[in-house]
Amino acid sequence: MRLNKYIASAGVCSRRKADELIANGNVKVNGAVCREMGTQVEEGDAVSVNGKIIEADAAKVYVVVNKPLGYITSMDDDKNRPTVADLVSDIPERLFPVGRLDYNTTGLLIMTNDGDLAYALTHPKHEVSKTYIATVAGVVSNVRLAKLRKGVDIGGFVTSPAKVRVLKQNPRSAVVEISIHEGKNRQVRKMFAAVGNKVQSLERVAIGDIRLGRLLQGHYRKLTRAEIEYLKSL
């Protein structure tokens, strides 16, 4: 990677500003001042700016949080309610949520400071599947399942076919797994409402192949390198 790009991707400054730093002799590669902005930085090279070693992409952080009930998916709240930013407050980088979960929805939320990835994952054309476990009132009949699988009208928008299966039918409620690609506001709740089942609780358990697993509510874990590569490949 070119030296100026390396400095910019380390989150130090813009590429143009990096050129200035290099020209002014503020940058060292493996201990020697380097004034050539086109210098190629190889893996294992030590680059310092004003005496401080930097690492390209070191500032990119990717975590999965298990959002509890009653947390707002935003960085701050004017009513001072808890936000998902509180769940990662011990991470020095400012992480923002990728997409959103309702106040009353729990489960998997990706948080990162990688703006490109956040943009790509939430772009409608990428259609990343999101899987939820919904507990709904009443009986989820085969007719209702068929409607959800075909697509339902949720107020001027017809959803694309969902993957749905009933995990458990109780006398007065059902536990259902549902996977959708779109991300309309309160979409899963509206989809079940459209077929006559009120959602009682909703948890997101997966985004694509990234799974919540046993992560406890209110906790986070860093994504593995393989998971990050996977998300970037979507």
What is the DSSP track for 75-127? S--TT---BGGGGGTTSSS--EESS---TTEEEEEEEES-HHHHHHHH-GGG-
Contact 215, 118 (CB under 8 A): no
Among 41, 178, 189, 210, interactor with ligand URA by CB under 6 A: 189
Span near ligand URA by CB under 6 A; candidates 38-46, 47-55, 136-144, 183-191: 183-191
Span near ligand URA by CB under 6 A; candidates 17-25, 118-126, 180-188, 225-233: 180-188
Q: Does 181 bind ligand URA (CB under 6 A)?
A: no
Rounded least distance, CB 223 to ligand URA, Å = 20
Tell me the chain's radius of gyration from C-alpha atoms.
23
Span near ligand URA by CB under 6 A; candidates 40-48, 58-66, 116-124, 185-193: 185-193
Span near ligand URA by CB under 6 A; candidates 19-27, 52-60, 139-147, 184-192: 184-192
CA distances in angstroms from 188 to 28, 45, 81, 141, 194, listed in the order given: 53, 49, 24, 17, 10
Rounded least distance, CB 191 to ligand URA, Å = 8
Contact 177, 131 (CB under 8 A): yes
**Residues with catalytic function:** 102
Q: Which two tokens stand for residue 78?
A: 């004017």
Contact 54, 29 (CB under 8 A): no
Q: Which two tokens stand for residue 194?
A: 């459209």
Looking at the chain, how many residues does it have? 234
* Cβ closest to ligand URA, residue 6 vs residue 220: 220
CB-based contacts of 132: which residues, under 8 Å, 6+ apart? Answer: 107, 177, 178, 179, 180, 188, 202, 203, 204, 205
Number of residues binding to ligand URA, judged by CB under 6 A: 8
Among 39, 66, 187, 197, interactor with ligand URA by CB under 6 A: 187
* Cβ closest to ligand URA, residue 34 vs residue 98: 98
Binding mask 77-116 for ligand URA (x = CB under 6 A): ------------------------xx--x-----------
Q: Among residues 65, 79, 161, 164, which one has the least CA distance to residue 111?
A: 65
Among 5, 60, 186, 221, interactor with ligand URA by CB under 6 A: 186
Interface contacts to ligand URA, rule CB under 6 A: 101-102, 105, 186-189, 202
